Amino acid sequence: MKVEVDKGACISCGLCVNSAGEVFSWDDNEKAKAISGDVPSDLEADVTAAVEGCPTDAIMEK
């Protein structure tokens, strides 16, 4: 699984960083970013929850 964040759509709600802090963090503009595009298999459920819960659909699975 791979993910990326559309920074134009991100509203910095923090859901992804709080749900999967090993995969997401904040950039210098306080927008979420994927630390690594590749998601470890043991974190896929957390990342899927972040993707599904993102209020602006800014996180995309690839």
| Domain boundaries, position 40 | 3-61
Longest Cα–Cα distance of the chain, Å, equals 29
User: Which pLDDT value is given to residue 38?
Assistant: 86
Contacts of 50 (CB under 8 A, 6+ apart): 15, 16, 19, 20, 23, 24, 59
User: Which pLDDT value is given to residue 52?
Assistant: 96
pLDDT in tens, 11-61: 999 999 999 999 999 999 999 999 976 899 999 999 999 999 999 999 999
User: Which pLDDT value is given to residue 62?
Assistant: 84
pTM for the whole structure: 0.90
Domain count, the chain: 1
User: Which pLDDT value is given to residue 16?
Assistant: 96
In this structure, are residues 5 and 33 in contact, taking their beta carbons and an 8 Å threshold? Answer: yes
Token digits of residue 17: 């960083």
User: Which pLDDT value is given to residue 36?
Assistant: 77
Q: CATH number, domain at 19?
A: 3.30.70.20
Contacts of 2 (CB under 8 A, 6+ apart): 37, 38, 39, 61, 62
